[in-house]
Amino acid sequence: MVVYAKDFMTKEVVKIDAMKSALEAAKLMAEREVGSLVVMDGNKPVGIITDRDVMVEVVANDLEPGRIKVSEFMSKPLVTVGLDTPMIEIAGLMEKHGIRRVPVVERGEIVGIVTSTDMGKASKILAPYLLPRIPEIYLTPKKSK
C-alpha cells in the first residue's frame, strides 16, 4: 500500500515574509498556534523557521528579536515535495536532512505541509504493510560484487 503527501498533509500552512522580524514571527506562531512558518520572498517559498529556531538562534544568542529578520536565521534551502510523493519517501527526506516539516508544493505554490505528527498518523496505516517486510528489507544479506 502506498500513501501520499496529499493523504496526510496539514492543509493550512502559515507563511511569513522573509523581511519580517523574529518578534513578528514569534507573535504569528503564538496567534496561529503553530510551531513553524514557511518563509516567503514574494510568492516564492525560500525557507522555514520553527519556534525552536527563534529560541536557539535569536533568544539564546541574546539578539534583538524586533530587529533580526526572519531571513537571517531561517533554514534553507527549503526541502519540498509534491502532492503525490509517497510518505515513505518523505520519511527518508526527513531523516536525511534532519527535519520534521516538509512543505508540499503544487505548480510552485505551497498547498500543505507534512509534519512529524502527520508522519506518525501515516505510520499507523503503513505499519501493517511494512512490519512483515522488515526482515526482507534489513536482514537480507547484500550480494558482493
Whether 71 maps to a domain, the answer reads yes
- Indicate whether 145 belongs to any domain: no
DSSP 129: H
Query: Does 28 map to a domain?
Result: yes
* Structural domain contains residue 144: no
The predicted model scores a pTM of 0.80
**Domain housing 104:** 5-129
Q: Per the domain annotation, does 51 fall within a domain?
A: yes
The answer to whether residue 143 is domain-embedded is no
Residue 59 lies in a domain: yes
Overall number of domains in the chain? 1
Distant-in-sequence, close-in-space partners of 19: CB < 8 Å, separation ≥ 6? 69, 70, 71
pLDDT, position 110: 94
Q: Please say whether the beta carbons of 105 and 81 come within 8 A.
A: yes
Residue 136: predicted pLDDT: 43
Share of the chain above pLDDT 70, in %: 86
CATH code of residue 62: 3.10.580.10
Does residue 141 lie in a domain region? no
**Which tens digits make up the pLDDT trace of 46-87?**
999 999 999 999 999 999 999 999 999 999 999 999 999 998
